[in-house]
Structure 1
Amino acid sequence: MRVLSIGTFSGGVSNTCLHRTWALEKLGEVDRIDTTLKRCIFFYRIVNRLFVRYRLPISFHAQKLNDEIRKQVLIKKYDVVWIDKGIFIEAKTLRFMKQVQNKCLIIGYSPDNMAERHNQSQVFLKSFPYYDYYITTKSYTVETLRQMGCKNILFVNNAYEATFHHPYQLTEKERERLGGKVGFIGAWEEERCRSILYLAKHGIPVRVWGGGKWLQYKNLFPNLQIESHGLYSEDYNKALSAFDISLCFLRKMNYDLQTTRTMEIPACGSLLMAERTIEHEELFKDEEEAVFFSSDEELLELCRYYLSHEEERRRITEAGRKRCHISGYSNEDTIKRVFKKVLGTIK
């Protein structure tokens, strides 16, 4: 199978778009085209603000990128063109692909809520109907995306990268440098900040890797440790392995019911303590493979309990890691299921 993978591959080995391409490379022969903007970034930001904030139908055209794609599909035949959040890929480029390779499937993927304007672009909206399939990790957007023009919308769960997200054997120095009792890795948001401050105020030691607005809360409580930056590369995975409990909050602006951390935390060998949702409870058995909470008060009670019951905590942590493997939550297993569904349509 020949695949052309188009996506943003910059940002180091923590990049989930890169992880999905690693999975594609295990399944076939893959060529890459990087959509990372190297020029005109300031102009794009202006266009994007006008599009998102003022809802103007204004487009940013990445001409060089689209020319490169058209040139590549003239050079080589593909079974699949995999486009990861193709907000710069134009409709005429997708039409051109179909003209020169009518048996090639164009599959789009995004881990973000593409029904929301802050994740879209005018170029994306015009090109969307020309995808053969579009894959979303947001179950509640399936019908909306279908109404936007692509008739074949597939929902998949979030995934972890098995070659990257796994338990690490850590030295005591690494545990001290990265870990702690309760940890969170991620950007500041009001709701998650409130929950973390509630824990710290009531005596739970919490370490936050995130920087940015989190720094406003540095030294607020003796047991709240705010770090000056986020974690990337292997340090992200090592920190998860080094936390007794890893907190998983959902982005409210995306209406998330699960997130990549839902899979990454247990895959790295940490206890997943996450907001209770229907999808979380379908993915992991509560208090057997993960622990879920619905309020700050319940979160505090659960943290106290599992910090003081190490054997039970370790049992749930290991069961969560096994569930990731058994249920096929990895990128490779997820993409295999997608291809099994869609490649049978190639005539």
Structure 2
Amino acid sequence: MSKQLKVLAVGAGWRGSNSKSLFNGFIKNGCDVHIIETDGYFYNYSIPERLYMRVRKLPLKAKFQKFNTTIARMIDAYQPDILFVVKGLWVTEEVVQYAKVKGITTIHFHPDFLFDDRYHTSTILNQAISSYDLVVTAKTTEVEKYKQYGCSRVHFMKYAYDPDIHYPVQLSVQEKINFQTDVAFVGRMEPFRADALNRVAMQGYDLKVWGTKWDKIPKNDVLNRYCEGRPIFCEEMAKVFQGAKISVGFLTQLSAEQHTARTFEIPACQGFFLGTRTEEHMDIFQPGVEADFFTTPEELLEKVAFYTQRDEIRQQITQKGYEKVIKMNATYEARVKEIIEMVRKEISYVM
């Protein structure tokens, strides 16, 4: 019988985050897990802190030091087998090395782009990343970049959905008023996304857009009427996908992204997934059978026009897409099992 692995997990702890679902994945795989949440240390910044970070590119020194000291002390007290860090923007190289000296397997997972997206990196992470024993990424284009940067072991792992959060929901009468629409999008504003969705809005479709930075689009864009002005998470997000005839799955233009968490979350909620056409998307879903895809804003408009008027075809594809993600077992629990199997092999080899 394999010994129970002890995992010291560091990352965001709010329900609906990639990190929380991954941490729960370790628990579901029988691991003993202790979590150090970054939420209490970072992200709820005061205005002075934001100004400080803009200049120094670091959080306040006392907060930054307390965070890393807490990790080091927990390494001593908890004596984990694995230090699993998600998006470790402020975990220092010294802490990673300290864990390794203690014989702990150190793993980093970044849900975003480390090299091409300035929003999701830091000098601290750039210095520490090559020290980890294993780097896990859901971005195929990042694999070689990590290796060239000096990371010795890099593992590609697809995104996933969390069945505790992403599942079909029944909408109440009020929820149908709130969430039913022709087209929905959940995500951050980027110029390509804004332009494409503005074209959809200009054609008179009912549209709902959730996420951040949508207040940055031009004030005269028709799209402004359809921006909800806030992000949306968990079961409420499932209601968005359930209520929309079409849920658009844009990929970022910041790099050559091939798929994302929405790739699995939308079908898992029994939403109709209309995503950016990529090799990975078309490998996961059969076009026109389990989902559908577009490349240009013009093609997006064509697909919206087609599917909003064909309920039966759309519903068949939606059901097939839902059945596909269930059959694939594309869950965080299954993804974490991949990581655990790699670690157990490593531990057995060392012993």
Matched, 1:30 2:33: yes
Map of 1:8 onto structure 2: 12
Residue 107 (structure 2) aligns with: 107
Cα shift at 1:209: 2.2
**Structure 1 position 280, deviation (Å):** 0.9
Partner of 2:253: 252
The whole-number CA distance in structure 1 between the counterparts of 2:201 and 2:214 is: 17
Does the CA-based 8 Å contact 1:51-1:121 persist in structure 2?
no
What does residue range 80-229 of structure 1 map to in structure 2 within 5 Å? 80-100=82-102, 102=103, 104-116=104-116, 118=118, 119-210=120-211, 212-214=213-215, 221=222, 225-229=226-230
Mapped to 1, the partners of 2:223 and 2:112 lie a distance apart of 36
1:59–1:123 Cα contact (<8 Å) kept: no
Deviations 1:170-224 (A, max 9, x none): 1122111122111112222211111111122223322222364348578955996
C-alpha distance in 1 between matches for 2:37 and 2:125? 17
Match of 1:76 in 2: 78
* Aligned positions, number: 338
What's the offset of the Cα at 1:264? Answer: 0.9
Q: How far apart, CA to CA, are the structure 2 residues paired with 1:327 and 1:153?
A: 23
Please tell me whether the aligned partners of residues 203 and 223 of structure 1 are also in contact (alpha carbons under 8 angstroms): no
Q: Unaligned regions of 5+ residues in structure 2, if any?
A: none
**8 Å contact kept, 2:214–2:229:** no
Secondary structure, in 3 states, of the residue corresponding to 2:136?
A: strand
Offset at residue 302 of structure 1 (A): 1.2
Identical amino acids, percent of aligned pairs:
27
Partner of 1:55: none
How far apart, CA to CA, are the structure 1 residues paired with 2:60 and 2:148?
Answer: 24
Q: For the Cα contact (< 8 Å) 2:86–2:108, is it kept in 1?
A: yes
Q: Deviations over 1:146-166 (max 9, x none)?
A: 122211011111111111111
1:225-257, CA deviations, whole angstroms, 9 ceiling, x for partnerless residues?
A: 332322224211111111111011111114322
The 3-state SS of whatever aligns with 2:169 is: coil
Deviations 1:16-58 (A, max 9, x none): 2111111111121100111232587667645654577xxxxx8
2:22 corresponding residue in structure 1: 20
Residues 76 and 148 from structure 1, CA distance in 2 versus in 1: closer, same or farther, beyond 3 angstroms?
same
> Whole-Å Cα distance in 1 between the matches of residues 261 and 54 of structure 2?
27
5+ long unaligned stretches in structure 1: 53-57
| Equivalent residues of 1:211, 1:227 under 8 A apart | no
Matches within 5 A, 1:248-327: 248-327=249-328
1:223 and 1:107, CA in 2 relative to 1: closer, same or farther beyond 3 A?
closer
Instruction: Provide the rounded CA distance (Å) in 2 between the counterparts of 1:117 and 1:241.
Output: 31
Contact kept? 1:218, 1:226, Cα under 8 Å: no
CA contact (8 A) 2:201 2:222 kept: yes
Q: Secondary structure at the match of 2:79?
A: coil
Counterpart of 1:81 in 2: which secondary structure?
strand
Task: Please report the TM-score for the alignment, with normalisation by the length of structure 2.
Answer: 0.88
Give SS of 2:226's match.
strand
SS of aligned partner of 2:36: strand
Supply the distance in 2 between the matched residues of 1:279 and 1:171 (Cα, whole angstroms): 35
CA distance in 2, matches of 1:282, 1:237: 24
- Distance in 2 (CA, whole Å) between partners of 1:82 and 1:211 is 28
Asked if structure 1 preserves the Cα contact closer than 8 Å seen for 2:194 and 2:217, the reply is: no
User: Which AA in structure 2 matches 1:33?
Assistant: I
Contact 1:206 1:223 in 2 (8 A): no
Q: 1:171 to 1:219 in 2, by over 3 A?
A: farther
